[in-house]
Amino acid sequence: MSIGARIKFDPHIRLPALPEPARHIPAPSNIAPVEAATALTDRTMFEAFAARDDVPGILAVREVKFLISGYDQDVPTLHFMNSTRNPLHFDFARDHLGFVHDVATFNRVTYFAEDRQFLAGTVLAYDNFQRPDGSQGLYALEFWPTDPVSTTYVAQAFQMVEARMEFAQGTLAYHPSGDVQEQLLIRDADDFASHNVRTVSTTELFDGIEYNPLNLGEAVGILRLMTGDDPRPPSPTDIVIYETLPNDLPLVAGVISAAPQTPLSHVNLRAQQNDIANAYLRNAAQSPLLSEHVGKPIRLSVTADRLEVVPVTTVEMLAALETRRPANTQTPPRNLGPRDIVALDDLAWTQVDAFGAKAANLAELRRAIDPKYVPNGFAVPFSFYHDFMVANGLYDALQVMMNDPAFQDDEQRKDLLKAFRKDIKAAPMTTPMRDKLDAMHRAFPEGTTPRCRSSANNEDLVGFTGAGLYDSYTHRLDEGHIEKSIKQVWASLWNLRAFNEREFYRIDHLTAAMGVLVHPNFDDERVNGVALTRNFYFPTFEGYFINAQVGEDMVTNPDGTQTAEEVLLLQNIDPEKQHPYETVYIRRSSLVSSDDTVIGHKDLMELALQLKKIQTHFQFLYGRSTDESFAMDVEFKIDSHGKLAIKQARPWTG
Asked if the model's pLDDT at residue 7 lies above 50, the reply is no
Task: Give me the residues paired with residue 468 across strands.
Answer: none
> What count of other Cβ atoms lies within 10 Å of the Cβ of residue 390?
11
Supply φ then ψ for residue 530, to 5 degrees: -130, 155
What pLDDT sits at residue 463? 57
- Residue type for position 76: P
What pLDDT sits at residue 275? 87
DSSP type of residue 611: H
Half-sphere exposure of 157 toward its Cβ, with a 13 Å CA cutoff?
28
Sequence-separated contacts (24+) of 19-26 with Cβ below 8 Å? 19/156, 21/74, 21/75, 21/76, 22/76, 22/78, 22/156, 22/159, 22/160, 23/163, 25/76, 25/77, 25/78, 26/77
pLDDT, tens digit, 9 for 90 and up, residues 232-258 = 778 899 999 999 888 667 889 999 999
Find, among 307, 143, 320, the residue nearest to 238 by Cα.
320
- Tell me whether residue 349 is exposed, middle or buried, using C-beta atoms within 10 angstroms of its C-beta: 0 to 12, 13 to 18, 19 or more: middle
Averaged pLDDT of the chain: 88
End-to-end CA distance of the chain: 38
Evaluate whether 161 touches 568 at the Cβ level (below 8 Å): no
List, in sequence order, every beta strand (DSSP E) within 185-253. 211-215, 217-225, 238-242
Find, among 472, 470, 471, 484, the residue nearest to 441 by Cα.
484
CB within 8 Å of 191: residues ≥ 6 apart: 151, 155
Integer Cα distance of 507 and 473 in angstroms: 25
Integer Cα distance of 450 and 518 in angstroms: 6
Percent of the chain with pLDDT over 90: 65
Lowest mean pLDDT among 91-95, 218-222, 382-386, 648-652: 648-652
3-state secondary structure of 409: coil
Q: How far is CA 368 from CA 81, 443, 615, in A?
A: 43, 24, 9
What's the helix, strand, coil split of the chain in %, to 5?
35, 25, 40
Evaluate whether 360 touches 649 at the Cβ level (below 8 Å): no
pLDDT, tens digit, 9 for 90 and up, residues 287-300 = 999 999 999 999 99
Tell me which of 401 and 3 has the higher pLDDT. Answer: 401
What pLDDT sits at residue 558? 52
Mean local confidence (pLDDT), 362-388: 97
Evaluate whether 487 touches 424 at the Cβ level (below 8 Å): yes
What pLDDT sits at residue 160? 96
> What count of other Cβ atoms lies within 10 Å of the Cβ of residue 187?
10
pLDDT, tens digit, 9 for 90 and up, residues 12-64 = 333 333 333 333 334 445 799 999 999 999 999 999 999 999 887 788 899 99
Inter-axis angle of helices 394-403 and 382-391, to 10 degrees?
Answer: 80
Asked if the model's pLDDT at residue 466 lies above 80, the reply is no
- Where does the pLDDT of residue 553 fall: very low under 50, low under 70, confident under 90, or very high at 90 and above? low
What pLDDT sits at residue 289? 96
- Report all structural domains of the chain as residue ranges with CATH numbers, in order of start: 6-205 (no CATH), 211-324 (3.50.30.10), 342-520 (3.30.1490.20), 525-651 (3.30.470)
- Tell me whether residue 119 is exposed, middle or buried, using C-beta atoms within 10 angstroms of its C-beta: 0 to 12, 13 to 18, 19 or more: buried
CB within 8 Å of 447: residues ≥ 6 apart: 477
What pLDDT sits at residue 25? 36
pLDDT, tens digit, 9 for 90 and up, residues 161-216 = 999 999 999 999 999 988 889 889 999 999 999 999 999 998 899 889 999 999 99
